[in-house]
Amino acid sequence: METNQRRDWIWLAVIAVIVAAAVWVALNPDYPIQPGLDLQGGLQVLLEADVPAEEPVDRNDLTAARQIISQRVNGLGVAEPLVQVEGERRILVELPGIGDAEQAIDVIRETALLEFVDTGASPLPEGTCVRTSLNEGRPSPCEEEDVEQPAPEFETVLTGADLSNASAQTDQFGRTFVSFEMTPEGGETLGAHTTQNVGRFLTIVLDKRVISSPRIEAAISDQGTITGNFTLEEAQNLALQLRFDRLPVPLRIESTREIGATLGQLSIESSIRAGAIGVGIVLLFMLIYYRLPGFLADFALLIYALFNFAVFKWLGVTITLPAITGFLLSTGMAVDANILVFERMKEELRRGSGLRNAIVAGFDRAWTSIRDSNIATLVICAVLWGFGRNFGASTVQGFAITLAIGVLISMFTAVIVTRTFVGLVIGRAAEWLSSRRWLLGA
């Protein structure tokens, strides 16, 4: 028993640290709430295949274009964009909370320009803005802010169109780089250039800005690497841009319009009020029916809500009405786990077990039921998330994500937090409570 109490005190310290961290995240303005399209409005862009009306558009090409655009707009920091195929020739894009509509349209329509530039015997520092032979005499897009005097013009050897594949990788020392493979034509050009220019620098430029300036150590043709001071996320984004340098079907912007929140402020307040009333009724039920254990479970449930809110802000989870629904549903599952535990405890007490033994048996025997039901729910969340990702149903993804987060947190709060509170409060007062079973709801 002393071992159990020591374990409970250790867990109490861990819970206190996690609660402090959750409060810090919840109050930190650097982690803002991300409202979705239905709560804050945004921008709607309708794209149409830019091919003659009589020419059919391959459905697979349109689907691939939808996936590419979805990846691009996510790079804007857009939370839960809706990107879906409309009919036979169109793609609908809805971007919540977009402040710069022109930037969003540019990213949807344009591609990043990757160039392999011959800079001769000297490397160029990362971040340097340059002019290349593809400028056609025009200044670089970033030149005005970065370069006071006209920069020299470098010869472009290859572009991103000569790449067939790219992926982010990490070497044995933890350094991140981008590995790429060339098309047959690109490999031939790269092989000829590197053979003739060993010892010189082939600088890699993205949108006229240097990202890496490696020395040609030997002739290369079919594959190579792009090194630089990349984080893993930056390398993955760069690899994505290289893989999707061209859309499989040309698209033009058919129309754009700003859209307001589908839920008015009154509807939002009503939804929050209804959720708060529902949670309040659940807390009251637990307190009335299970008394002291119910009070401790209510306290654990409040911690559960705090953890969820902090994780949503920390991960940048988009808050939409379906996402709120997922959270409330997971709240019900957290309560259900506590009910399973307390009913097991009551069964043990009716069999004549001592209170401390009933607590241990209640949690141990309820765990398998809690585990199996939550695993089943997580499997369903994975199916919903995959469905939403493949078919552009971002609200389904949001529901699946918030429900999965809530289920995982509920397992911790129901099994660890509640057990710790019950063990420290009820376990230490077991003798006193033995003659006051009404406090246990038994």
User: Residue ranges per domain, the chain?
Assistant: 2-31+266-440, 42-110+251-258, 114-243
Q: Residues 155-194: pLDDT tens digits? A: 888 887 787 877 888 887 778 888 888 888 888 888 888 8
Q: What is the mean pLDDT of residues 285-290?
A: 85
Q: E strands along 228-367, which residues?
A: 251-259, 318-319
Coil, strand, or helix at residue 150? coil
**Cβ contact 337:366 at 8 Å:** yes
- pTM equals 0.58
Confidence of residue 69 (pLDDT cuts 50, 70, 90): confident
Fold identical between 2-31+266-440 and 42-110+251-258?
Answer: no
> Which pLDDT score is estimated for 146?
47
If you search the block for the tokens 């040309």, which residue do you land on?
Answer: 250
Residues constituting the chain: 442
**Cβ contact 394:319 at 8 Å:** no
Candidate CATH numbers 3.40.50.300, 2.60.40.10, 3.30.70.3400, 2.40.50.140; the one for domain 42-110+251-258: 3.30.70.3400
> Which pLDDT score is estimated for 24?
93
**Could you tell me the fold of the domain covering 2-31+266-440?**
Multidrug efflux transporter AcrB transmembrane fold (1.20.1640)
Q: What is the mean pLDDT of residues 59-81?
A: 69
Cα gap 98→100, rounded to integer Å: 6
**Cβ contact 214:202 at 8 Å:** yes
Calculate the average pLDDT of the chain.
78
Architecture, CATH, for domain 114-243: 2-Layer Sandwich (3.30)
Express as a percent the part of the chain with pLDDT over 70: 78
Cα gap 359→422, rounded to integer Å: 8
**Segment among 54-58, 145-149, 246-250 with least mean pLDDT:** 145-149
**Cβ contact 190:157 at 8 Å:** yes
Cα gap 128→201, rounded to integer Å: 15
